[in-house]
A and B are shown apart, each in its own frame.
Chain A
Amino acid sequence: MRILRHPILGNLDEQPPVFIEVDGELIPAREGEPIAAAIIAAGRLKLRHTRKSGEPRGVFCGIGRCTDCVMTVDGQANVRTCVTPVKAGMKIVTQGASPEREAQE
């Protein structure tokens, strides 16, 4: 969820949202924030599934080292969403052996 008011940082400035598409769903984002921040703000913590066993994973380190947050962004696989800035219109797809993905294939 978004932190709109903050005792030190003040109110969140009201920049108009941009939209990104995550697994076919449009979600609002703040241009330039990491992709993972936008997805977590939309209420979703799971960002990928492991390839073999399909276990869910999300952000762990938040500094681009652990690679647990990787997703496919505009066709490019394994993009670290915790350090990759949002651009309007990005198409993002969850990677890994999810049942949804298997049904698609």
Chain B
Amino acid sequence: MDAHAEAHEHVLEIPYTVHPRPDTGLYNAKLGIWLFLASEVMLFGALFSSFILIRTAAPVWPRGWEFLNVPLATANTFILIASSVTVVLAWANLRLGNLKWGRIFIALTLVCALAFLVNKGFEYTHEFKEHRFPSTSNFLAIYFTMTGLHGLHVLGGVIVFSYLLLPGAKMWKTDRARYTNRIEVCGLYWHFVDLVWIFLFPSLYLM
């Protein structure tokens, strides 16, 4: 192989898409998702900090427990916990070379995410029927902002998992390890989204 052809081959190949880089110990996508999640921590961290500051400064503060739909929120908590299990099972099955069960668990994760959004839709509809809007009070402004932003993240997960379940699964035939890594990266994002809810639920619905 001449020098030109060799250089061309190097240009086409993206390094560390499957194997970890020796200096970071991570493959490209995992480094990318952690940088993204770091920015997400700052975003939600700023919102939680604002919430705490507004709440501690307020002379009186409504309790979400008394008027928000706690049973639906509880159901959503269990749905997200279950979806974190299914996404790990999807990744584990793909690592073991089992595409069929991997896709079944991706589909189950997708079903959980959609169920969460449907429940959220019912919850918002109920609040609007009771004439509770973001402009009604500081508490409701924070409630709609934080749960709305979280819901958008769930929607993002739905889009990505739908892609990986249907057209994205073609990669399994050409590059199994890379497809498995993609599921791992999405699983990391999904766990972060679930973790945010684990903090939102008691903060907004109970206390």
- Report if A and B associate in a common complex: no
Question: Residues of A at under 8 Å CB distance from B?
Answer: none
Question: Residues of B at under 8 Å CB distance from A?
Answer: none
